Amino acid sequence: MAGASQSSRLSKRTRADAAQNQTAHIDENQAKRRRFAGKKTESEEAAELPVSKGLQELTVVDGNMSVANTRESSRTSWSSSQLGAGKYTDLEPVLTADEEYLFLAVETAIHIYSTATSHPVRTLQAQPNQSIIGYKLCPINQNYLYMFTSTGSISKWEWVTGKQTLHWDTCRRTSFFDVIEASGDDTRILFYSLCERKGDRREIRVSTLRDGKLLETVVLETDVRVTHIRTAQQGQAVLAYGGQHLLLGIADGSGLDNVEHAQYTWRQTTLPVNITSLDVRENTQQNAQDAKARKASERLDLAVGETAGSILIYQDVLAFFANSQDTRDGGKSFAPRRLHWHRGPVNALRWSRDGNYVISGGHESVMVLWQLDTGRKQFLPHLSSPICKIVISSTGNSYAVKLADNSIMVLSARELQPYATVTGLQVSPKMVKLKGQCGSNALSSTTAAVLHPQHPDQLLVAVPASRQMSQDGHCSAISPVLQTYNIHTNNHISRQALARTNTTVLKISPEGSEITTPDIKFLDISQNGNWMATVDCWSPFPQDIKALGLSNTGDGRTNSHEETFLKFWKWNSVSSLWELVTRIDGPHFLDGGPTPVLGLASRPRSNEFVTIGADAVMRVWSPNSRPRSGLQTGPNAAQQLETWKCRNIVDLKGSFGPNKTEHLSTACLTFSEDGSVLAVCLPSMSTANPGPVLLLDAQRCTIHYSRPGACSDDPCAVRFLGRHLIVASKRAISVWDTVDDLVRIPASPIDGLSTGRSQPLLAVSPKTRTFAVALHDLQHMKKSRTAHFHVQVYDIESLLPVFSFSVGKCPLVLTSDPRSGDYIIVDAGASVQRFGCSDRAPQATTPPRELPSRLSSGLADLFGNQTSALQSTITLDTERAPSQSGGLSGVFGEAPSFVSPPANVLFRNVVQSLSVK
């Protein structure tokens, strides 16, 4: 097609004219229709869907579209699987007593990590359609773990082997759980659950397992909106809190020997602050002679964090409630000690084991240690994100700190040095303001991401530098950092800043507005994996430039204060980093200043990139050797010095016919599989004037053919699959056969399925000859009033759906694995799913890691066979494992000494690097 002659182009236009004067005639005997019988369950929706409607085939007749049905496609076996990743829930991490294993929970599973290697060793999967709301090690035998879900189910796992030993379901909506070892003659486990009832009421239940049956009783019913419960003194005291309300329950004299008859005496008080975090400490005098004297000396101390940043210390809460009536009736009030350093809410709060310190964390990305006797503070600053949770190990030697950027680090309590770091996939959805709706926001699907062409298991995605909260309560989704994540092994590989960041400076202006960083809009990699191109944009707040008399024009052109950078990066295998080679300031511009870049594409089998901007101009960028005085250049040079230049410009303003335009609102481009043809989709000027689709010779940059009507709306995504060009817009999906010049529209198997407000995602799989589209399920949203999304896979020949399944959260990335042909989707919850055709040969996978009973410290385990294992350590901005760099420089790097791994890890990495040489 790229080398077509003028006569062939004329003949194709002749065929196009003929196609516009006739409709597609399909044999009626080949057209079939089917109906869905009854409502499908969610498990049935995830399986292969039967073909319900025929193909809708469309041609253009005098500007109008006609539809016809065609035959069905043959059935194939498709399935989907959860690869892992996921966003860690807002639950506290759990450390084993020997501090060798770390438990972290996502929405539907619990991941077990080794603190020695920071690698996952096992996953405990919850039952389908259940969300984990809590988990805790068994107080009697820590080889067992209890898992709690929102439906009230409790399951007991032998986490060393990954086997579930017990499971029972209360079929009750539950929001919080706690587990304790009961006091008394026999050793029993008590479960405290916070359940929700009709009428916005809450109840606290105590239950235990006896003779295979779950025995329970209700100890509190209240209208107070409590959200958390804490137990102390082996269940003798129960704390429930939420908002400004604090309730304390004391067990009656009968104790907890018989759960069915357990009773508590409750007292309630209203605090002057809104509680954001709370921790309780059991303070018992060590010099008590017997159990009775020890029980009489027991006291509870509270540390309460609040929304304004203060920490309130309450001493001996039991004595206060014992000597006063309900404080709502005029009883004496608390007299707390107040500590104040945080500017925002105190998200995490913990007592030290000896009670001499209180440890807190908030939005400031700083962990604060308060010495209560002297009032002095110790800081651990410059963490990568705000602190969500802090957990102290049972020995008090380690701190597990959960950060808002989906990472957890384990610190040594003495040196405050990290010795284990677990980093999850850090994607974040963008919040887009909906026009005409005040206070309404929607998720955007525009996330810059790509699979590495040479290493398809590696996902390169733009992520935020830190998860700072904005004034409206949403996390900032500006993404100036590149994260490389292995979706096969579920391991973080590296992070690298691609735009300027301000991690260590105050991010709030004197007016209270957030100081933002550039946002990566587009990202692509050359087929050989040596070059990467990115486009990042930054613009000041409108109120900041109002005094200058500048504002957005609203027609695609922006003020001169907007910054748009096109950057070209080269992979350095020695440092394992992308090195910036060329930066183009304002690659597209008009008279009024720079204009946004609307699309970026990499040309296959070539080191070239193409961009299209709002100025309706397409530019082709290619590398060139850069001469340097005194340095040798040419093929015999030891190191080639290169720079990137624009080798060709194509003005597309004349492609709209008589309705010429000076700027574009949207545009998409893509290359054919061999890189010889470039397709450009332009927006529609009006309903009567649909946007054209242009086919260009990629080498000569000349327009060979223009096809109007291939897309009836503004294009959102476009892909080549053989001779077919798939165009996705917000209203429809169209497939253009570029050889027969025929445009067809596939049928949707589910009524009410539309792309909605979010942009559709499109991916193609040349190996399976299919394409996948992520759409917005409007019918489900009308029923449940919640956003629901659907993914459909179509056969390119028949355009009939071969597979379909639902996604609960907004899809952010949809791409295909070039090696296996499977599709990979990443949603707003940072979950990664793979779906594909099971008829193909299975892909070789690495065997699961076996979980040893204990980690040995011998030389065999220090070296072993893990010559390619990565040791994850904390790196606040450049999180890169030492084993990814070459030589001793890759082991030690340029990081300061306080973030270095332990000595045994350094010794192992040094021996490995020397053995490779």
pLDDT tens for each residue of 590-619: 887 889 999 999 999 999 999 999 999 999
- Asked if 178 and 230 touch (Cβ cutoff 8 Å), the reply is yes
- Asked if 467 and 386 touch (Cβ cutoff 8 Å), the reply is yes
Helix (H, G, I), strand (E, B) or coil at 17: helix
589 domain residue, yes or no: yes
Pairing of strands 357-362, 367-371: antiparallel
Q: Is the predicted pLDDT of residue 8 greater than 50, yes or no?
A: no
Q: Is the predicted pLDDT of residue 52 greater than 80, yes or no?
A: no
| CA distance linking residue 769 with residue 76, whole number of Å | 12
| CA distance linking residue 504 with residue 468, whole number of Å | 13
- Asked if 217 and 224 touch (Cβ cutoff 8 Å), the reply is no
| CA distance linking residue 579 with residue 564, whole number of Å | 19
Q: Which of 135-149, 187-201, 278-292, 838-852 is least confident?
A: 838-852
877 domain residue, yes or no: yes
Which residue segment(s) compose the domain that 538 sits in? 445-611
| CA distance linking residue 636 with residue 615, whole number of Å | 41
121 φ/ψ angles, rounded to the nearest 5 degrees:
-115, -20
The DSSP call for residue 469 is B
| CA distance linking residue 176 with residue 193, whole number of Å | 6
Tokens representing residue 26 in the block: 């399909």
Q: For residue 847, how many C-alpha atoms fall within 13 Å in the half-sphere facing its CB?
A: 3
pLDDT tens for each residue of 296-331: 557 899 999 999 999 999 998 888 776 655 444 444
523 domain residue, yes or no: yes
Among 190, 120, 195, smallest CA distance to 151 is for 195
The torsion region of residue 812 among left (phi > 0), alpha (psi -120 to 50) and beta comes to: alpha
Q: Is the predicted pLDDT of residue 390 greater than 60, yes or no?
A: yes
SS3 sequence of 860-912: HHHHCCCCCCCCCCCCCCCCCCHHHCCHHHHHHCCCCHHHCCCHHHHHHHHHH
Q: No. of H helices and E strands in the chain?
A: 9, 63
Q: What is the pLDDT of residue 779?
A: 57
Helix (H, G, I), strand (E, B) or coil at 317: helix
Q: What is the pLDDT of residue 31?
A: 35
Write down how long the chain is: 917
* Residue 435 burial (C-beta neighbours within 10 Å; 0-12, 13-18, 19+): exposed
Q: What is the pLDDT of residue 56?
A: 41
- Confidence band of 284 (pLDDT split at 50, 70, 90): low
Give the helix/strand (H/E) hosting 149. strand 144-149
866 φ/ψ angles, rounded to the nearest 5 degrees:
-90, 60
Average pLDDT over residues 51-69: 38
Among 700, 663, 662, smallest CA distance to 678 is for 700
| CA distance linking residue 892 with residue 880, whole number of Å | 11
Q: Is the predicted pLDDT of residue 187 greater than 90, yes or no?
A: no
Domain boundary among 555, 583, 611: 611
Give the chain's domain count.
2
List the 458-463 sheet strands across, edge first: 449-451, 458-463, 481-486, 491-497
| CA distance linking residue 624 with residue 204, whole number of Å | 71
* Residue 211 burial (C-beta neighbours within 10 Å; 0-12, 13-18, 19+): exposed
SS3 sequence of 568-607: EEEEECCCCEEEEEEEEECCCEECCEECCEEEEEECCCCC
892 domain residue, yes or no: yes
Q: What is the pLDDT of residue 870?
A: 36
The DSSP call for residue 140 is S
Q: Is the predicted pLDDT of residue 51 greater than 50, yes or no?
A: no
Average pLDDT over residues 154-160: 94
- Asked if 59 and 19 touch (Cβ cutoff 8 Å), the reply is yes
Q: Annotate 20-46 with DSSP letters as a single string.
A: TTSPPP--GGG-------SPPPHHHHH
| CA distance linking residue 547 with residue 695, whole number of Å | 46
Give the helix/strand (H/E) hosting 441. strand 441-444
* Residue 826 burial (C-beta neighbours within 10 Å; 0-12, 13-18, 19+): buried
Domain boundary among 611, 634, 660: 611
Q: What is the pLDDT of residue 296?
A: 52
Q: What is the pLDDT of residue 356?
A: 93
What residues contact residue 359 under an 8 Å CB cut-off, 6+ apart?
A: 348, 349, 350, 351, 352, 367, 368, 369, 370, 390, 392, 399
Q: What is the pLDDT of residue 347?
A: 94
Torsion angle, alpha carbons of 90, 96, 102, 108, to 10 = -50
111 vs 89, 163, 300, 485, CA distance in Å?
12, 14, 33, 17
Q: For residue 836, how many C-alpha atoms fall within 13 Å in the half-sphere facing its CB?
A: 27
Q: Is the predicted pLDDT of residue 706 greater than 60, yes or no?
A: yes
What percent helix, strand, coil does the chain show, rounded to 5?
A: 10, 45, 50
Tokens representing residue 270 in the block: 């209203």
Q: What is the pLDDT of residue 10?
A: 39
The DSSP call for residue 439 is T
Average pLDDT over residues 50-61: 38
577 domain residue, yes or no: yes
Q: What is the mean pLDDT of the chain?
A: 78
Q: Is the predicted pLDDT of residue 730 greater than 50, yes or no?
A: yes
- Asked if 117 and 908 touch (Cβ cutoff 8 Å), the reply is no
470 domain residue, yes or no: yes
242 vs 230, 278, 347, 433, 503, CA distance in Å?
12, 10, 14, 31, 33
Q: Is the predicted pLDDT of residue 722 greater than 50, yes or no?
A: yes
Tokens representing residue 449 in the block: 């991401």
Among 678, 704, 703, 708, smallest CA distance to 693 is for 708
pLDDT tens for each residue of 636-693: 555 668 899 999 999 998 777 666 666 888 999 999 999 999 999 998 877 677 789 9
469 domain residue, yes or no: yes
- Asked if 563 and 523 touch (Cβ cutoff 8 Å), the reply is no
Q: What is the pLDDT of residue 474?
A: 55
Percent of residues, the chain, with pLDDT higher than 70: 70
- Confidence band of 181 (pLDDT split at 50, 70, 90): confident
pLDDT tens for each residue of 487-536: 988 899 999 999 987 655 566 667 767 778 899 999 999 999 999 999 99
Q: What is the pLDDT of residue 603?
A: 96
Amino acid residing at 478 = I
Domain boundary among 563, 585, 611: 611
579 domain residue, yes or no: yes
Report the first-to-last Cα separation within the chain, whole angstroms: 50
